[in-house]
Chain A
Amino acid sequence: MSTDTGIQGIYFDNNATTMVDPEVVEAMLPFFTEQFGNPSSMHLFGNKVGLAIKKARAQVQELLGAEHDSEIVFTSCGTESDSTAILSALKAQPDRKEIITTVVEHPAVLALCEHLEKEGYKVHYLEVDGKGRLDLDVYRGLLTDQVAIVSVMWANNETGTLFPVLEMAEMAREAGVLFHTDAVQAVGKVPIDLKSSAIDMLSLSGHKLHAPKGIGVLYLRRNTRFRPLLRGGHQERGRRAGTENTASIVALGKACELAMEHMRHEQTIVRQLRDRLEQGILEAVPYSFVTGDPDNRLPNTANIAFEYIEGEAILLLLNKLGIAASSGSACTSGSLEPSHVMRAMGIPYTAAHGTTRFSLSRYNTMAEVERVIQAVPPIVAQLRKLSPYWSGQGPVEEPEKAFAPAYA
């Protein structure tokens, strides 16, 4: 759909993907042209590229606080890293047939686990409470010598809620179980120091932190038993065969360096923007609330449920004003149910379909935040006017009884 309003767009959908930082673009461009060599080659063309990759690996290592640069394995995306980690753990420990994960993981982990169930593996899905928090006692009870791997996301993509992965990794280590975390939303937004943690494997995705799409990393702690997903050439020390995506690797390295520089900004300025946005919207829109755990989440994410209206309609109207956000409604994903994350937290259907995620980045400004605060209330009011659950200034009495449609 086009936005022909002449307004400069406001991008508040940074958990979906981010703009590639101009400095990152500049850093990667030579690797399409004069630096085209294959890093595996013996000649000068290849050698320089090999050095550039080495530098990028060190930049990623620094952002993750990894002990060795050889613990960084470049992949094609976050999903590949997740699959590699989980499948490697299963292949390397064929006697262990169980996996522990959570109900609110990204499909990159959930869909794989559901598929593995069909192949005979037992998957334990940790549930969450109304604020999206885990029960660590339940988790402790599941850590047995039957479990091949625990895979728990660092931060939830929809609500930004942070899981206590450091503590959970320690618990897994004590029980002798491998621990993987899908950290694609956390890397670059929260400080990470893997060398002082018990995390064995971590996935990250370049395009979530201002690098291009098509590049990811699997952090693999030294001495972790590993079986590659792709076998072939000796690239990545044989742990991920396939000619390196050199330009994107260089780009990711630069993006990690910039993320390191902006970490304080993310934790302070971006957080202020998010807090102002949330406060401004909640003040102006009745029957709306924040989902997830407001006290323990990413600094950039605000997920607000607007009751009695549907998210896709909200997004279309926001889009008309040049504002980009995303929603947990069924319609935006083409599925028959609203977001599994909202359902897991017990958010009722009348609110779950109206959840709207605003995710900010270091490129956003307070002026943009104020514009969105102005834009949202009339949109919500407009859609509520159409809603069978709404009457005048508030919801109809006992909304779920007053409008109980026949299933169609």
Chain B
Amino acid sequence: MWEYSEKVQEHFFSPRNAGAVADANATGDVGSLSCGDALRLTLKVDPETEVILEAGFQTFGCGSAIASSSALTEIIKGKTLDEALKVTNQDIADYLDGLPPEKMHCSVMGREALQAAVANYRGEEWKDDHEEGALVCKCFAVDSVLIEETIRSNKLTTVEEVVNYTKAGGGCSACHEGIEEILAGVLAESGQTFAPSAKSVAVAMPTPPAKMTNLQRMHRIETVLESIRPTLQRDHGDVELVDIDGKNVYVDMKGACAGCQMASVTLEGIQERIIDELGEFVRVLPSQAMPRAERAYG
């Protein structure tokens, strides 16, 4: 069974905006029947302001396809078309607290449905600009088509090069046999043969750019906060982690820190430390800034 986040499950079991929008003036049909995921997105757009008034989806697909569709419609409602087009597939995945690597294509499908619908609204023709192959590297979610194309355009000949150019195979290394096969196939196109070296492939991946699991990420953030607390406690203050929601880290400033004029400076300092540790941008906010509905859980 896939490891779906609570949020994915929630959007699958109770999808938002399911069904076609009545009087829709934009439609986007994308997906692949052979893969078993296809989506029709219908929008009702205000012709004056180009604001998306209503969004509805109809999806033939798995749990994460339905959840991604539901998330997409929630994200874009109320946005103008131009604003909506800035939504990336990562935004959809983030909204759902992440998707398994094999399922990231569901979020890609969501973004493409949106592009197709906007093109349809504007009377343009939308063409898919990429082809997706079988997933080869599960650590970094790299598919066969990307590997083949990278080998061709960069004239790669070794697994090591493929790892350096695509990241595929840079993790657990279980897919190296598959990468060798792809290399052999592509090299054969130009009459070359793949010559593996006798020694095992030594690949140096400096710092794994892999996305941490939510749990690992949470632990890292906690560790940073724990390391800061003694300093604050010396000044009779304290900080407590309240919640992590995507890029937002909510904390409570306590004791002398609460209401301290330097609080925002302290938050910035904490933010910098966490960004350093995670290698990604986060925003550290006081818990008062949390959206209301979510505070109820806290």
Contacts and interface: CB of A to CB of B under 8 A. Distances in A.
A352 B52 CA distance: 35
Contacts of A338: 34, 36
| Dominant secondary structure at the A interface | loop
B29 A335 contact: no
A287 to B, nearest CB: 13
Interface string B249-277: 00000000000000000000000000000
Contacts of A385: 18-19
Contacts of A349: 33-34, 36
A387 interface: yes
A364 interface: no
Of the candidates B18, B19, B34, the one having the most CB atoms from chain A within 10 angstroms of its own CB is B34
Contacts of A1: 1, 4, 9
Interface string A303-317: 000001111110011
Contact of A405 (B12, B13, B40, B66): B40
B32 interface: yes
B42 to A, nearest CB: 10
A406 B112 CA distance: 9
A329 interface: yes
A404 interface: yes
Contact of B39 (A309, A337, A388): A388
Interface in A84-98: none
B18 A407 contact: no
Of the candidates A312, A316, A319, A408, the one having the most CB atoms from chain B within 10 angstroms of its own CB is A408
A310 B60 contact: yes
A113 B158 CA distance: 26
B18 A405 contact: no
Interface string A335-373: 111100000000001100100000000000000000000
Contacts of B18: 385-386
Contacts of B9: 1, 316
Interface in B17-58: 18-19, 29-40, 57-58
7 contacts: A310-B61, A330-B35, A386-B18, A386-B59, A405-B32, A408-B32, A408-B112
Give the 9 A-B residue pairs with the shortest CB-CB distance, closest first: A312-B62, A331-B62, A353-B36, A408-B30, A388-B58, A388-B40, A405-B29, A405-B31, A349-B33
